[in-house]
A = this chain, B = another copy of it.
Amino acid sequence: MLVLRTVLRKAFVLSIAMITTSVMADDRDELLSFIDGRYEETADLAQNLWELAEVGYQETRSSELLQSELRAAGFTVEAGVAGIPTAFQASFGSGGPVIGILAEFDALPGINQDAVPQRSPIPGKGAGHACGHNLFGAGSTGAAIAVAHWLEQTGRPGTVRLYGTPAEEGGSGKVYMVRAGLFDDVDAVVHWHPSDQNAAEASTTLANRSAKFRFRGVSAHAAGAPEKARSALDGVEAFNNMVNLMREHVPQQTRIHYVITSGGVAPNVVPDFAEVFYYVRHPEAESVREIWTRLEAAAKGAAMGTGTQVDWEIIHGNHPVLVNDVLARMMDEKLRQVGGVQYNSSEQAFAEQIYTTLNKPGLPLGSEQEVQPFEKSLGYGSTDVGDVSMVVPTVGLNTATWVPGTSAHSWQSTAASGMTIGFKGAQVAAKAMSLAVIEMLQNEQLLRDARAEFDAWRGDDFVYEALLGDRPPPLDYRN
C-alpha cells in the first residue's frame, strides 16, 4: 500500500472575539423608528425598480431613481464613475471613518413573473428581478439615508457612502469600481442580499473568470468539398475534450463549465465560426489564474490541431469573498437586535400558496421570523462583492425577502421581490445595516480589529489585481 495522506486542514479558527456593543439603546430605537417611518418610500422605490427590470449596464432609469432619492436626502452624488454610465457613488457626512454601503439594481434577462403566488409570466417583459436586486437597491438606499439622518442628528464625524453598483449578474460591475480606486479611502463596507432566510453572511465564494472563446475556420459545402474546410466547431470540440481530460488534473475544488454558444448554422455548411463560453472557478484567485493559463493552452492547442484560429474575450471575473470574522459577528448581533420578518394575513396566504409550488424546500414556513445560527460556510457561487472584500473589510447579511425554501433565480423569488414580503425583508436589511454602520462609525476598536484580521489574511505583499484584467466594462454584454 502506498501511504498517501493529507492532514486535515484546520477549519476556520473560531475566534471568540468579544464584541463590545457601543451603540446606545436610544440611538438604536430612534434609528429603527426612522426606517419604519420611511417604509412607503423604500417600498415605492423597490416597486419601481421591479417594474423597470433593467438588465446589466442598461439600468439607466433605475440608477437615476436611486440617485434622485439620495440627492433628495442630502447626499452628494457622483454619477458615471469607473467608465460606467449607470455606476455612481453618493456621500453624506464628512471626515472619517468612511463606511460604504453597496446597492445593486440589475435584473436578469429571460425571466419574468407577475407579483402573484402562481406562475404568471408578464407578456412582452424580457427581464425580471429574479435575484431581488430591486430590493437590494432600495434597502441599501434606505439604510444609507437612515445613517445620514443619524449623522445629522448626532453631529458626529464620519461619512456614509452608498455605491450604486450595476451589472452584478455576469457583468462584474463592482470590479471596475474597485479597479478605479473608488474604495481606496473606505474603512469598511456593508452589503446584503435577498434570500429565503435571515442570517449574517459568513460565507466565502469562489474566485471566477469567464471568457468567450471564438474559433474561426474555413467554410465549404459539407458534402461537396469537406476536405477544403476547417471546421470551427472541430476547434471547439477539441478544446472541450482537452478541458475534460484536464479535469482529472486540477485541484478537486476547481469548477470548470461551459456552454457552446455558437455551434454552426446549417449542417450542410462546415462552420467557419463557433463559440464556447467558459467559466473557471476555485476558492483561490491564484489557482484560477494558473488553471486559466492551462485553459488558454488547450484553446491554442485545439486551434493548432484542427487548423483553425482562436481568440477569446474575458467576460467577467470576481475574487472570492473574504469573510471578516470580526465584522460578521458584529453583524450577527445587529441582525438579532432587529429580528426577522412578520407576515400579515394576506402575506401569510401568499407564502402558503408559494410554498406548495416549491421542490423540497429546505426551510419551514415561519422561519422567516427567525435569525439563523451564525455559521461559517464555504460557498460555491461567485460575486463581484469578492473584489470589494479584497480591498476593504466587508460584511454582509441575508434577509428573508422570499418565502422560506425559495431558490434565487426562480419565478417564486421574482414574485416575492415585487410585493410586501420582499419589501419587509428589505426593511430588515436596512435596519441591520444601519445599526452596523453607526456601530462602526463610533467603535474605533472594532474597525482596528477588523483591519488587523484583514491585513493578516492578505499578507504584506498582497497586491490587488482584477481577475478580468484591464478590459473595459462590457457595456454591451446584454445586447
Instruction: Tell whether, in the assembled complex, residue A247 and residue B249 are in contact, meaning their CB atoms are under 8 Å apart.
Output: no
Q: Copy number of this protein in the oligomer? A: 4
Residue of B with least CB distance to A266: B259
- What is the predominant secondary structure among interface residues of chain A facing chain B? mixed
Most buried by B among A206, A227, A378: A227
Instruction: Tell whether, in the assembled complex, residue B257 and residue A4 are in contact, meaning their CB atoms are under 8 Å apart.
Output: no
Interface segment, one of A37-45, A324-332, A381-389, A425-433: A381-389
Most buried by B among A206, A279, A379: A379
Instruction: Tell whether, in the assembled complex, residue B7 and residue A375 are in contact, meaning their CB atoms are under 8 Å apart.
Output: yes
Given A210-B267, A245-B238, A263-B263; A255-B306 close (CB under 8 Å)? no
Does A222 sit within 8 A of B, measured CB to CB? yes
Q: Which of A286-321 contact B (CB under 8 A)?
A: 294, 297-307
Q: Which of A159-201 contact B (CB under 8 A)?
A: 168-170, 193, 195
Most buried by B among A206, A277, A381: A381
Using Cβ atoms and an 8 Å threshold, which residues of chain B touch A462?
none
Given A238-B241, A244-B247, A245-B244; A378-B8 close (CB under 8 Å)? yes
Does A226 sit within 8 A of B, measured CB to CB? yes
Instruction: Tell whether, in the assembled complex, residue A264 and residue B259 are in contact, meaning their CB atoms are under 8 Å apart.
Output: yes
Instruction: Tell whether, in the assembled complex, residue B239 and residue A305 are in contact, meaning their CB atoms are under 8 Å apart.
Output: yes
For the complex, what is the distance from the CA of A382 to the CA of B3, rounded to whole Å? 9
Instruction: Tell whether, in the assembled complex, residue B242 and residue A305 are in contact, meaning their CB atoms are under 8 Å apart.
Output: yes
Does A28 sit within 8 A of B, measured CB to CB? no
Q: How far is the CB of A256 from chain B (nearest CB, A)?
A: 7
Ordered by A's residue number, 20 sampled pairs between the chains whose C-beta atoms are within 8 Å are A1-B383, A2-B224, A3-B195, A3-B398, A4-B221, A4-B380, A6-B380, A221-B381, A223-B255, A224-B381, A227-B252, A231-B245, A231-B248, A233-B259, A237-B237, A238-B301, A242-B302, A247-B247, A258-B264, A259-B264
Q: A3-B381, A6-B379, A8-B375 are in contact. List 14 more A-B contacts (CB 8 A).
A: A3-B203, A4-B379, A227-B250, A234-B248, A237-B240, A241-B241, A247-B247, A267-B279, A268-B279, A294-B307, A297-B304, A297-B307, A301-B304, A304-B304
User: Hey, which bits of chain A sit against chain B, CB under 8 A?
Assistant: 1-8, 11-12, 110, 131, 168-170, 193, 195, 203, 205-206, 208, 210, 221-231, 233-234, 237-242, 244-253, 255-268, 270-271, 276-279, 281, 294, 297-307, 375-383, 385, 398, 408-409
